[in-house]
Structures are given as structure tokens and as C-alpha cells.
Chain A
Amino acid sequence: MDWSLLFQSYGAIFTSLQVILMALLGATGGVLLGAVPGMTATMGVALLIPFSFGMDLIPSIALLLGIYCGGMYGGSISAILIHAPGTPSAAATLLDGYPMCQKGQAGKALSVALFSSFCGGVLGALIMTFLSPMVAKVAMKFTSAEMLMLAVFGLSVIVSISGKSISKGLIAAFFGLLLATVGQDPTYGAKRFVFSFRPLLSGFSFIPVLIGLFAVSEVIAGVERIVAGDEKQESSHEKLTRVLPDGKTIKTIWPNILFGGIIGTFIGAIPGAGGDIAVFVSYGFNKSFSRHPEKWGTGIPNGVAATESANNGCSGGAMIPLLSLGVPGDAVTAVLLGAFIMKGIQPGPMMYVNELPTVYKVFAALMLANIAMLAVGCVGVRFFAKIVSVEKKMLYPIILIVSLLGAFAINKNVFDIGVCVLFGVVGYLMNKFEFPLSPILLALILGPMCEQNLVRFVDVNNGNFLEILHRPIAMGFFIVSVATIIFSIYNQNKINKREAAAAQAEKAE
């Protein structure tokens, strides 16, 4: 590594007013876009790419990376405040973020999300700076076998997010995997559960399902609670004294941030696997190793930290295969690849030889984008936290019309609004009968990945699935998956026993 060139590049980026302004502008746009359900970071980058046409490469990359990082954090805002993840990768943030909001700690949840997102992003940028060629080499060893087992590893987390009843969690997960098969079969194009209804040919879009399951169902349940007189809190009046978490909170969440950031970066570096998978893996991993797994899902900062650090850690991870191999790690980096090519630079192994100063400047721009996201987030946290002080009688209808519009906006298709409403009802009923919703989401993300790679692997090996035993990385993932399932079941039994004992002790008193 050329240290002097690295420092020079960082110096050039951090002293250029234009680059700083672009990063701030991008982060502001990203945070705002990410906070709107249905608007993803990919959409933001694609939307603003025309504005970067007239700029030099580095300011335009700073603008786009600002949107990327801002969008990653922005998704958590609506997840925490209104139970509607702004982006798919913020889906796991609501597991603890929304309960924190319900406890009147929305501001704290937002500040933990911001700080963790920043730390995860910085960790990702550092790993990208120092280890990118190495990580890229490992990531490129991923074929269908490894991708299949990565999906299985992701699915193994389901047990730890299933709540009290593992059987209900697994029913929900298999239901999600079944839903992922609706539409045309990805390999042969055969119609499955389409019933001659053309809009179903492409299956259910992920975002409308996500919005329906979490936001619309919450509105239906919220209206029910208000009318039945069960709504405990009309509105929250939390006084936010700090925009960043205090020292005591940081002390408790730093291991989650560290592991989350590392998990996010490595999963982000695998082409085809992004933040949506990383957040659940990080949540499950951190919960499994927690001293108090029973507190996860009840509204603790650790849950928010574990998911948000993994979420933004992915931004650095996804840049690794882009720069070192010319292969985008996710949809946003695919758009970024277009931006590089437009500027006459071809990312790939030769970029490290021919364009090393540019590579280092991109590293620095990602670091700057994370700092810009922190700055914008600090200004915005107080404002965003005010949303929950709006009376719920007004908030619920507003959430409903924003959610339904978000469902439409993703594909500009009325069918998606219908899907959103349908899954709103499904989510409402599932919540009522205590079936967890998150396994469906995880299954919807991982189902297509699982099936496509299974079919590919079996076809390549002439039907011999046992060939997978000769793939060390895949078997490594398999062993970790089995260990995660066993550990999660053990943990859940421990939690159930503790809760039963506590209930008995309470009754005895």
C-alpha cells in the first residue's frame, strides 16, 4: 500500500469544498429519500445521476455515495417511527427500533441508529481501504453452492427472530418461502400460483409486501386499539437532550456495532447479497451471543445497533468487488459502475494499477460520505423525533396514505397497492394470532436466492447434490447454520423458562 498517496488522496478530498458540499447534498437527499417508504437508495442514486453528468468524477462519486450512505440510515427513520421500513435493508431495525419508539424512546433509537450506521459505514470504508483485494478474492470464490449455503445461513436466523413460538415462526418462514415462488419459475419460466392472472406473473414485489406487512397492518391495528379504547399512548413527548448516544449506551452497544459492521462489510462484498440479508444475519448473530437474548425484540439499543451497523457496513463492502473486480456488489453499486464508465474509468483489477490515486480518492469519498451522513443525521434527529409527538388520531391516516403511495411509486402499478393492502390484512391477522412477521420478510428476500442457486448447482453437477460436500466454504456456512439453529433453540428455551419462572414468582407475591 502506498501510504503517502493514500494520505494525499484523503487530504485532497477532505479539503475540497466542492466535494464536501456534494457529499452533504447527497447525504441530505439520501436521508430524506430513504425515510420515505417505497423510495430506496438505488432509486435515489438513479434519480440524481443525471445531476452528476457535468461534474468531475470525484465530486459526482461523493454525491452518489452521500445518497447511498444517507439512504441506508434514512430507511431506519420510518422503521423506528412508523413501523414502515423506508428501505428493505432497514427491515430488521424495526424489531427493536419500533418497540423503543413505543416505550417513548424514539429519539434515543434514532440517535443509536445514526451512530451505529456511521460506525458501520466507517468500519466498512476502513476494511475497503485496507483489505479490498483480499476480500474480493474470497468473495469471487462464491459460486451457486456457496450462495445457496449463504441463503441457508441467512434462513437459520429465523429461529432467533421467531419470538416465543418457534413453530409459528417456522410456519411464517415457510409461508414466506412459498410466497417467493409465486409467478414465473426463474429457471424454466413455468407459471406457479398465477391462476391466469397476468399481474401475478412477475410475483409479489418486495416493497409493497414489506409496507403492507408492517405499516398498513400497524394502521389497522392502531385504529382498532383507539376505537376499542386500548391505545395506551396518544402521542410521545420524549425530550431529546442529545443527538448522539451517551457514553453508557455506547459502552453497551459497541460490540454489536463492531460485529455488525464486519458482518455487513463481508456480506456486502458478495455480489448478489446485500444489506437486506446482512441486517438479519447480524441481528441473529448478535442476539445469539448476547447475555440477555430475552431482551432482544423488546426495544433495546443493541438490536438497533446490530442491524444499523451491518446495514451501512454493506456500503463499504459492496464497493470492494466493484473497484477490485469491476463486479457490482448490489443495485446501487451497479448504478455507480455506470457513473465510473461514463467518466471513462473502467473499474476492475487494472484500476489498482492504472488509476490508484482515483481508487484512494473513492475510499476517501466513502469516508466523507459517512461523515456527511452523520452531520445531516445530527441536524435531522431532533426534527424526525418530533414526528411521534403528532397525535396518533392524525398520524395513522397519514401513515396509511404515505404507505399506499410508496407501494405504488416503486413500480407505478395499482396492482402493487392491492398487494400492499392484502399483506396489510395478512400482517394484521398474523399479529393478532401472534405469528411473527419478520420471518416472512427474510424468507421473501432469501427464497429466490435459495431456489435459483439450488437449481443451478444441481444442474451443473448433473443432479448430484452431494457434490456440495466438497465445497469447503459452503460446508462452513452449513455448519455455522446448524450451530446457529441449535444455539437459537437453546436460547429460546432458556428465555421461555426464565419468563415462566418470573411469571410464577410474580403470582406468588
Chain B
Amino acid sequence: MKKTQTKAFSNLVCAIILLIFEGWAYYETYSFKVQKKAYVQPATFPRVMLIGMIVFTLILLIQSLIKVFGTMKENDPDNSPAPPINPFTNKGVLAALFVVLLCCCFTFFFEKLGYVLISAIICAIIMWMVGKRDILVILLVSILVPLVLWFVFYKLLTVNIPMGVLQPLRDLVDKI
């Protein structure tokens, strides 16, 4: 196995990405307001945390560099294969990416379509995606579960959940 396919290499890449993020966040702390006569400035605590993060990221970077460019024991846990992240070569990763996309759609359409409808759509799509092929079960679960959840939250826990296009259903429940 090539060293670029090991966990040690993925740690190295993670450490570099983290260092870039930490550098940016540290730079950002200079935009925080400075308080006169304050012993601890608003930027002090985040900076201390970032310095801590940078120190341990550097440790991870050095450890990974030694393992990638030096010698690594065969039974070293970091010598095992790195997790797959390419959605074009791994259908599992592609599915995970699709779930993230569905979650983003859920957030975006939550108020417009309402909880019950968007949940039913997402629930059905995920079930189909993971290989459930019983249409009746898919329909029953995707419709009944969000409906029951909405009813419990709305009626029993008095949490007002957007119903979007299904607003008439709530009016009906209120009348009953």
C-alpha cells in the first residue's frame, strides 16, 4: 500500500487544513473590539484557545510527517488504509453526500413546505436510497411518522411547528 493511502497521510492532510483554519481564525480575532481598561480582552480567550489548537495540530503534523516520510511499523494503527472520501469512486460516500444535501433541502424548505411534507419526502428518498423497496411500508412510515411527531409536538408539547402548504390540516386539528 502506498503511504499516500494510509491514515498517517490523511492525518497529515487534516493537520494542514486545520492549520490554515487556525491561521485564518487567529487573524480574525484582530477584528474584535478592544475594550479600554479591561484586563481580559474579548479576543484573549479565543486566542489562547487557538494557540492551544495550533500547538496540538503541530504535534499531529510532526507525528504524521515522521510516519509518512520516515519509517512506520507494520502494526502501527496509522499504517492502515485511510477512510474513503471520494464520492466518484465510493458509492457509500456519494450516498452520505446525498444525505447532507437532503438535510440542506430540509432546512431550506422547512418553513415553505412545512415539517410534515418535507420530512415525508426526505424519509421516503432515504429509505429508497438505502435499498428499501416495499412501497407500502415506505409510504406508511414516511407519512405517519412525521404526522404523529407533529401532532405530539404541537398538541402535547405545545411547540408550534411550521405546516407550510399543509396549514389547513392544522386548522382542522384545531377545530376538532
User: Interface of A with B (CB < 8 Å)?
Assistant: 33, 39, 43, 47, 164-165, 167-168, 170-171, 174-175, 177-178, 181, 185, 187-188, 190-193, 216, 219-221, 223-230, 391-394, 396-398, 400-402, 404-405, 408-409, 412, 414, 417-418, 421, 424-425, 428, 432-435, 450-451, 454-455, 458-459, 462-463, 500, 503-504, 507
* B160 partner residues in chain A, CB cutoff 8 A: 412
Contact assessment for B60 and A168 in the assembled complex, using a CB-CB cutoff below 8 Å: yes
Sample (24) of A-B pairs whose CB atoms are under 8 Å apart? A167-B56, A168-B60, A171-B56, A177-B45, A178-B49, A185-B42, A187-B40, A188-B38, A192-B32, A227-B94, A228-B93, A391-B132, A397-B126, A398-B141, A400-B122, A401-B122, A401-B145, A402-B149, A408-B161, A414-B107, A417-B106, A432-B83, A451-B45, A504-B75
Contact assessment for A174 and B50 in the assembled complex, using a CB-CB cutoff below 8 Å: yes
Contact assessment for B132 and A393 in the assembled complex, using a CB-CB cutoff below 8 Å: yes
Q: Which residues of chain B from 120 to 173 have a CB within 8 Å of any chain A CB? A: 122-123, 126-127, 129-132, 137, 141-142, 145-146, 149, 153, 157-161
Known A228-B92, A405-B149, A428-B96; contact A421-B104, beta-carbon cutoff 8 A: yes
Bound state CA distance, A240 and B167, in angstroms? 43
7 more A-B residue pairs beyond the given contacts A216-B103, A228-B92, A463-B39, with a C-beta to C-beta distance below 8 A: A187-B40, A190-B35, A191-B32, A220-B100, A226-B131, A393-B130, A394-B132
Contact assessment for A178 and B25 in the assembled complex, using a CB-CB cutoff below 8 Å: yes
Contact assessment for B111 and A178 in the assembled complex, using a CB-CB cutoff below 8 Å: no
Bound state CA distance, A224 and B141, in angstroms? 21
* A454 partner residues in chain B, CB cutoff 8 A: 40, 45
Taken residue by residue from 60 to 100, chain B's Cβ proximity to chain A (1 for < 8 Å, 0 otherwise) reads as: 10010000000000010100000101000011111110011
Contact assessment for B123 and A174 in the assembled complex, using a CB-CB cutoff below 8 Å: no
Bound state CA distance, A188 and B142, in angstroms? 48
Contact assessment for B35 and A228 in the assembled complex, using a CB-CB cutoff below 8 Å: no
Known A417-B106, A432-B85; contact A230-B122, beta-carbon cutoff 8 A: no
Q: Pick the contact of A405: B14, B142, B161 (CB < 8 A).
A: B161
Contact assessment for A220 and B99 in the assembled complex, using a CB-CB cutoff below 8 Å: yes
Number of A-B contacts (CB under 8 A): 186
Taken residue by residue from 28 to 53, chain B's Cβ proximity to chain A (1 for < 8 Å, 0 otherwise) reads as: 11001101001110110110011011
* B130 partner residues in chain A, CB cutoff 8 A: 223, 226-227, 392-393, 396
Contact assessment for A417 and B110 in the assembled complex, using a CB-CB cutoff below 8 Å: yes
Smallest CB–CB gap between A99 and chain B, Å? 18
* B46 partner residues in chain A, CB cutoff 8 A: 178, 181, 192-193
* B99 partner residues in chain A, CB cutoff 8 A: 219-220, 223, 400
Q: Which residues of chain B from 1 to 37 have a CB within 8 Å of any chain A CB? A: 7, 10-11, 14, 18, 25, 28-29, 32-33, 35
Smallest CB–CB gap between A461 and chain B, Å? 9
Known A405-B115, A412-B159; contact A433-B100, beta-carbon cutoff 8 A: no
Of all chain A residues, the one with the shortest Cβ separation from B126 is: A397
Q: Closest 10 CB pairs between A and B?
A: A228-B92, A190-B42, A174-B53, A227-B95, A185-B42, A224-B96, A397-B126, A224-B92, A190-B33, A463-B39
Q: Pick the contact of B57: A171, A414, A424 (CB < 8 A).
A: A171
Contact assessment for B33 and A174 in the assembled complex, using a CB-CB cutoff below 8 Å: no
Of all chain B residues, the one with the shortest Cβ separation from A507 is: B75
Bound state CA distance, A434 and B32, in angstroms? 33
Of all chain B residues, the one with the shortest Cβ separation from A418 is: B107
* A394 partner residues in chain B, CB cutoff 8 A: 127, 132, 137, 141
Contact assessment for B50 and A178 in the assembled complex, using a CB-CB cutoff below 8 Å: yes
Contact assessment for B33 and A433 in the assembled complex, using a CB-CB cutoff below 8 Å: no
Bound state CA distance, A178 and B45, in angstroms? 8
* B103 partner residues in chain A, CB cutoff 8 A: 216, 400, 404, 421, 424
Contact assessment for B157 and A223 in the assembled complex, using a CB-CB cutoff below 8 Å: no
Known A164-B77, A394-B127; contact A228-B90, beta-carbon cutoff 8 A: yes
Smallest CB–CB gap between A492 and chain B, Å? 13
Smallest CB–CB gap between A325 and chain B, Å? 29
Of all chain A residues, the one with the shortest Cβ separation from B7 is: A434
Residue of A224, A396, A418 most packed against chain B (CB within 10 A):
A224
Of all chain A residues, the one with the shortest Cβ separation from B60 is: A167
Contact assessment for A230 and B92 in the assembled complex, using a CB-CB cutoff below 8 Å: yes
* A428 partner residues in chain B, CB cutoff 8 A: 96, 100
Smallest CB–CB gap between B87 and chain A, Å? 10
Contact assessment for B75 and A224 in the assembled complex, using a CB-CB cutoff below 8 Å: no
Bound state CA distance, A393 and B83, in angstroms? 23
Known A226-B131, A228-B90; contact A171-B25, beta-carbon cutoff 8 A: no
* B63 partner residues in chain A, CB cutoff 8 A: 167
* B157 partner residues in chain A, CB cutoff 8 A: 33, 39, 43, 47, 409
Q: Pick the contact of B96: A170, A177, A223 (CB < 8 A).
A: A223
Contact assessment for B42 and A188 in the assembled complex, using a CB-CB cutoff below 8 Å: yes
* A391 partner residues in chain B, CB cutoff 8 A: 132
Smallest CB–CB gap between A186 and chain B, Å? 9
Smallest CB–CB gap between A362 and chain B, Å? 27
Residue of A164, A188, A230, A402 most packed against chain B (CB within 10 A):
A188
Contact assessment for B75 and A433 in the assembled complex, using a CB-CB cutoff below 8 Å: no
Bound state CA distance, A43 and B29, in angstroms? 36
Smallest CB–CB gap between B167 and chain A, Å? 17
Contact assessment for A177 and B40 in the assembled complex, using a CB-CB cutoff below 8 Å: no
* B107 partner residues in chain A, CB cutoff 8 A: 404, 414, 417-418, 421
Q: Pick the contact of B40: A181, A220, A458 (CB < 8 A).
A: A458
Bound state CA distance, A220 and B38, in angstroms? 45
